């Protein structure tokens, strides 16, 4: 295990883990709850995300550099609990990779490749993900930085090209919804922000694991900023009522770009960039699964057979687990609960348990002395 990941790369990894799917789902979901106040809900959830990033970052910063998360956990909570936690988190990353892959391919199918069987699209995507996961976290981190640096000018360009279609006053009346409703509207985005938990797996690979806190917090802040800009952009152009009925409002938004008769249909350019970020996100999840299984099961062979097995399982799971494509309840309800439990509650419970057990050991050590 080599420690090469920098603070910037850590922030970029956090951003790549959260943004690609959040950008697709959140405008509609949040505006459904709080209409034009969606940006306030996002602001609130970004702040919540920052707190979560700080807490998870602190937990991650406590691990020793070069020692995988699951192994480090074993030292504080005991082997059995660490093994169970490792398997549970591996199952979580696998499950979330399967869900996100299904959503991604549903989008590709709806927008571009209608007649190509989804099983083929999913198979091709799984092969790419296996390649990404095989390369490990360092190349993923380097590419994440490139994508992060590209995403800002691209976002600025899309704002610039749609600025003539914007009505700033769509944001009014500000704060029409009660604070309870606004806070509830922020629950789904908070679920997405909780994916900052990836920092637990990344920290041991960092040159200075202590910087995991800053990396996680910056990652959430940058993601929150981009999401707020995107939601405001959709709001200003379409108004809150139309966005509610749009499955992919950001795609519809860039589809409106027309400059005279010579710049039209540029959405494919934006979609291509977005697809690369989704591949990277899914690659991170598959890497998370493989990494956790590897360290938990202590397999006596190299990564390839495991990668092949998990890849095949992912292909089968994502292909046959979804009788229907529409998964609104799943993405907003069940997934949010799962995200919050697996990314926030579970790791934080492990952190508390680890501290208690360490304190107990120290107390016992003191008593023995």
Partner 1 sequence: MKKWGKLLAALLLLGLTTGCWDRTELNELSITSATAVDRQGDQWIVSYQVLIPSVVSGALGPMKGGAKLPITVYSTEGPTIREAIYQSALESPRTLFFSHNRVMIVGEELAKNGLDELIDVYLRNSDSRETVAVLITKGEGRKILEQLLQIQIIPGDGIRETMRTERKNFSVLPYVNMYKLAMELTSEARNAVIPEIFISGGEPVTSSDQMNKTTMSSKLKLGRLAVLKEGKLKGWLKAEQSLGANFLRDEVKRTVLSTGCGDEGGKNQSAIKILNSKTKVKPVIRGENEPIRMIVDVKAEGTLLETRCKIDLDKPEVISKLEKQMEGEILAIIRDGFKETQKLKADIVGFADLVHRKYPKRWHEMKSDWPEEYSRIKLETHVDFTLKRLGLTSKSFTKMFEQVEDEKK
Residues that bind partner 1 (CB under 8 A): 110-117, 120-121, 123-124, 127, 169, 172-173, 176, 238-239, 241-242, 245-246, 252, 255-256, 258, 264-265
C-beta of 290: minimal distance to partner 1 in Å? Answer: 20
The smaller minimum CB distance to partner 1, of residues 47 and 171, is found at 171
The smaller minimum CB distance to partner 1, of residues 78 and 239, is found at 239
C-beta of 274: minimal distance to partner 1 in Å? Answer: 15
C-beta of 155: minimal distance to partner 1 in Å? Answer: 21
The smaller minimum CB distance to partner 1, of residues 29 and 36, is found at 36
C-beta of 239: minimal distance to partner 1 in Å? Answer: 5
**3 state SS for the chain:** CCCCECHHHHHHHHHHHHHHHHHHHHHHHHHHHHHHHHHHHHHHHHHHHHHHHHHHHHHHHCCCCCCCHHHHHHHHHCHHHHHHHHHHHHHHHHHHHHHHHHHHHHHHHHHCCCCCCHHHHHHHHHHHHHHHHHHCHHHHHHHHHHHHHHHHHHHHHHHHHHHHHCCHHHHCCCCCCCHHHHHHHCHHHHHHHHHHHHHHHHHHHECCHHHHHHHHHHHHHHHHHHHHHHHHHHHHHHHHHHHHCCCCHHHHHHHCCEECCCEECCHHHHHHHHHHHHHHHHHHHHHHHHHHHHHHHCCCCCHHHHHHHHHHHHHHHHHHCCCCCCCHHHHHHHHHHHHHHHHHHHHHHHHHHHHHHHHHHHHHHHHHC
The smaller minimum CB distance to partner 1, of residues 75 and 111, is found at 111
Residue with tokens 């590709």: 108
The smaller minimum CB distance to partner 1, of residues 131 and 346, is found at 131
> Is the bond preceding 258 in cis, omega lying within 30 degrees of 0?
no
The smaller minimum CB distance to partner 1, of residues 319 and 335, is found at 319
C-beta of 279: minimal distance to partner 1 in Å? Answer: 13
- Alpha-carbon distance of 166 to 256, in angstroms, equals 12
C-beta of 111: minimal distance to partner 1 in Å? Answer: 5
The smaller minimum CB distance to partner 1, of residues 171 and 338, is found at 171
Strands 263-264 and 258-259: antiparallel
The smaller minimum CB distance to partner 1, of residues 59 and 279, is found at 279
C-beta of 202: minimal distance to partner 1 in Å? Answer: 29
Length of the chain, please? 369
C-beta of 296: minimal distance to partner 1 in Å? Answer: 30
């Amino acid at each position: 295990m080599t420690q090469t990941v920098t603070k910037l790369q850590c922030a970029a990894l956090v951003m790549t883990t959260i943004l690609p799917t959040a950008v697709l789902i959140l405008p509609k979901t949040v505006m459904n709850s709080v209409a034009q106040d969606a940006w306030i809900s996002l602001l609130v959830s970004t702040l919540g995300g920052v707190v979560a990033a700080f807490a998870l970052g602190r937990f991650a910063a406590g691990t020793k550099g070069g020692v995988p998360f699951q192994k480090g956990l074993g030292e504080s909570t005991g082997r059995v609990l660490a093994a169970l936690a490792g398997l549970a988190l591996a199952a979580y990353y696998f499950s979330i990779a399967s869900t996100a892959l299904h959503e991604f391919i549903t989008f590709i199918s709806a927008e571009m490749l209608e007649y190509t069987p989804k099983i083929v699209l999913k198979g091709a995507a799984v092969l790419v993900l296996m390649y990404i996961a095989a390369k490990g976290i360092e190349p993923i981190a380097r590419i994440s930085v490139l994508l992060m640096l590209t995403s800002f000018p691209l976002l600025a360009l899309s704002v610039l090209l749609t600025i003539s279609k914007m009505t700033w006053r769509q944001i009014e009346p500000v704060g029409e919804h009660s604070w309870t409703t606004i806070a509830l509207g922020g629950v789904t985005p908070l679920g997405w922000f909780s994916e900052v938990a990836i920092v637990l797996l990344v920290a041991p690979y960092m040159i200075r694991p202590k910087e995991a806190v800053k990396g996680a917090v910056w990652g959430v802040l940058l993601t929150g900023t981009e999401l707020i800009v995107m939601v405001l952009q959709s709001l200003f152009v379409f108004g809150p009522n139309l966005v509610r009925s749009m499955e992919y409002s950001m795609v519809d938004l860039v589809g409106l770009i027309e400059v005279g008769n010579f710049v039209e249909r540029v959405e494919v350019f934006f979609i291509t960039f977005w697809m690369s970020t989704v591949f990277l996100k899914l690659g991170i999840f598959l890497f998370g699964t493989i990494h956790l299984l590897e360290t938990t099961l202590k397999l006596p062979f190299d990564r390839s057979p495991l990668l092949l097995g998990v890849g095949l399982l992912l292909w089968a799971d994502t292909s046959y687990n979804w009788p229907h494509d529409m998964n609104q309840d799943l993405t907003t309800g069940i997934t949010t609960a799962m995200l919050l439990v697996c990314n926030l509650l579970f790791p934080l419970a492990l952190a508390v348990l680890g501290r208690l057990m360490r304190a107990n050991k120290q107390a016992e050590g003191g008593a023995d002395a």
